[in-house]
Amino acid sequence: MNNQIKPNGKVLVIISTPDTEKARAGMMYAVNARQQGLMEDVQLYFFAPSEQVVHKDQELQGLLTEFQEAGQHAVACRFLAEENETFTFVKK
């Protein structure tokens, strides 16, 4: 019997909450789905106010780095990022 997990499908994770714990849960799902090979393609989108939450939280920034190191790219609203001065985080 083969117990190897095969990636199956695509998922889009949209994070738009100002709540750090909820943002962490969504980001952890995205990171784990990609790192553990549960999904072929994982998209991660941030919308304000979640951009500010990630910008201010080191742990969330670390999760974003892990996501990017797994070969995925996060997307955020450039207009809101520039307006809220979180654009340097978004450009990473």
Q: Which residues, other chains included, contact 20 with Cβ-Cβ below 8 Å and sequence gap of 6+? A: 53, 57, 60
Which residue range is the domain that position 81 belongs to?
Answer: 10-91
Q: Is position 53 within any domain?
A: yes
What total of structural domains would you count in the chain? 1
pLDDT at 90: 52
pLDDT at 49: 85
- Average pLDDT, 10 consecutive residues per value, the chain (92 residues): 64 95 96 88 89 90 89 82 64 50
pLDDT at 13: 95
pLDDT at 63: 92
Q: Output the pTM of the full model.
A: 0.80
The Cα 26–Cα 45 span in angstroms is: 10
Residue of 2, 91, 9, 79 whose CA lies nearest to 43: 9
Query: CATH no. for residue 38?
Result: 3.40.1260.10
Q: Are the CB atoms for 38 and 32 separated by under 8 Å?
A: yes
